[in-house]
């Protein structure tokens, strides 16, 4: 892999442009950022769900990517959406910048409408961008999916959701090995899907190995775990913004770039690059 570009601008610059914009403006911004890098993105459309996903593919001619990195680019109305999830988008734009001149079986997907939910009395259908993606894309060769959410704050890599039954997953082993080599502290987390989910869910439903990666402030994780412990029985009744302090800015007007740190974004970027390196040498 190429040497890292020492003169690359901070990833925070992407967040400052994206925050406070709606998903249409964000989509235009991501597309033009990719074009500026010399990358021609593919737009995957699902009209009936008003979804437009953005795909950047680095695979060699005639091959289907086996490693996917994903992040949703939409945000909740009324929230600047900096950590959720301009931060994930910024890391993936940084990854595209690093990969632009090489061919590796890697695909980067920016999902639309993760935050959107169809609600009927009987059915809740959310994560619309990734739902659309797994219906339309060729998934046969996809071996690992790493989905990024909340990448802009803290020094503790959080791998989620990991339950006992998930412990054999290859993605979890690979990410923990990569974090170990890079001396990035990590923890496995579990939040019930009805409290908080993300686009890994759409892939897991199709039997594909997928995890979500976040950066969180390490000192607040015990608080989060305690708050979640034993609460699952009434969790259905609790509004999502009653989540513990750590995540309380999410989906509110407090989710701005001012709360975020370049260092957290850079940790996530080197981690994704390490996963690419291992994948293409293995
Ligand atoms: Zn999100």
CA of residue 85 to ligand 1 center, whole Å: 5
Quote the pTM value: 0.91
CA of residue 72 to ligand 1 center, whole Å: 7
pLDDT at 177: 97
The listed CATH number (3.40.50.150, 3.40.630.10, 3.40.50.880, 3.60.15.10) that belongs to domain 12-281: 3.40.630.10
CA of residue 126 to ligand 1 center, whole Å: 12
CA of residue 150 to ligand 1 center, whole Å: 7
CA of residue 115 to ligand 1 center, whole Å: 7
Distance, in Å, from the CA atom of 109 to the CA atom of 57, rounded to the nearest integer, reads 8
CA of residue 170 to ligand 1 center, whole Å: 24
pLDDT at 194: 65
Number of Cβ within a 10 Å radius of residue 81: 29
Cβ pair 211, 202 in contact under 8 A: no
Distance, in Å, from the CA atom of 282 to the CA atom of 253, rounded to the nearest integer, reads 44
Distance, in Å, from the CA atom of 268 to the CA atom of 249, rounded to the nearest integer, reads 20
The rounded average pLDDT for each run of 10 residues, N- to C-terminus, in the chain (282 residues) is 70 97 95 97 93 96 93 93 97 98 96 77 73 94 96 94 91 97 92 79 95 89 66 44 61 92 98 96 79
CA of residue 11 to ligand 1 center, whole Å: 18
CA of residue 148 to ligand 1 center, whole Å: 9
pLDDT at 139: 93
CA of residue 229 to ligand 1 center, whole Å: 22
Query: Could you report the per-residue pLDDT of 190-216, keeping only the tens digit for each?
Result: 877 666 789 999 999 999 999 999 999
pLDDT at 179: 98
pLDDT at 270: 98
pLDDT at 122: 55
b/e per residue 91-112 (b: at least 16 CB within 10 A): bbbbbbbbbeeeebbbbbbbbb
Cβ pair 19, 253 in contact under 8 A: no
Maximum distance among all Cα pairs of the chain, rounded to whole angstroms: 53
Q: How far, CA to CA in Å, does 239 sit from each of 60, 74, 76, 189?
A: 46, 20, 15, 20
CA of residue 24 to ligand 1 center, whole Å: 16
Radius of gyration over every alpha carbon of the chain, rounded to an integer in angstroms = 18
CA of residue 219 to ligand 1 center, whole Å: 22
Map out the domains of the chain as residue ranges. 12-281
CA of residue 71 to ligand 1 center, whole Å: 8
């Amino acid at each position: 892999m190429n040497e890292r570009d020492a003169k690359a601008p901070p990833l925070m610059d992407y967040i400052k442009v994206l925050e406070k914009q709606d998903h249409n403006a964000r989509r235009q911004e991501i597309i033009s950022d990719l074009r500026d890098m010399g990358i021609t993105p593919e737009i995957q459309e699902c009209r009936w769900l008003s979804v437009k996903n953005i795909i950047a593919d680095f695979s060699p001619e005639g091959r289907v990517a086996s490693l996917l990195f994903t992040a949703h680019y939409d945000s909740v109305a009324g929230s600047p959406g900096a950590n959720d999830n301009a931060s994930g988008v910024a890391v993936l734009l940084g990854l595209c910048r690093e990969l632009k001149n090489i061919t590796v079986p890697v695909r980067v997907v920016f999902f639309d409408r993760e935050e959107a939910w169809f609600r009927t009395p009987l059915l809740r259908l959310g994560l619309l961008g990734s739902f659309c993606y797994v219906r339309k894309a060729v998934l046969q060769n996809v071996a690992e999916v790493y989905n990024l959410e909340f990448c802009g704050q803290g020094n503790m890599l959080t791998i989620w959701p990991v339950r006992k039954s998930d412990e054999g997953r290859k993605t979890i082993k690979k990410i923990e090995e990569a974090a170990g080599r890079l001396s990035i502290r990590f923890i496995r987390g579990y939040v019930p899907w009805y409290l908080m989910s993300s686009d890994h869910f759409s892939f897991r439903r199709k039997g594909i190995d997928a995890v979500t990666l976040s950066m969180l402030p390490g000192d607040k994780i015990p608080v989060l775990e305690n708050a979640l412990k034993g609460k699952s029985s009434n969790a259905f009744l609790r509004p999502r913004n009653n989540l513990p302090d750590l995540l309380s800015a999410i989906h509110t007007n407090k989710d701005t770039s001012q709360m975020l740190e370049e260092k957290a974004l850079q940790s996530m970027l080197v981690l994704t690059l390490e996963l690419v390196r291992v994948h293409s040498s293995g």
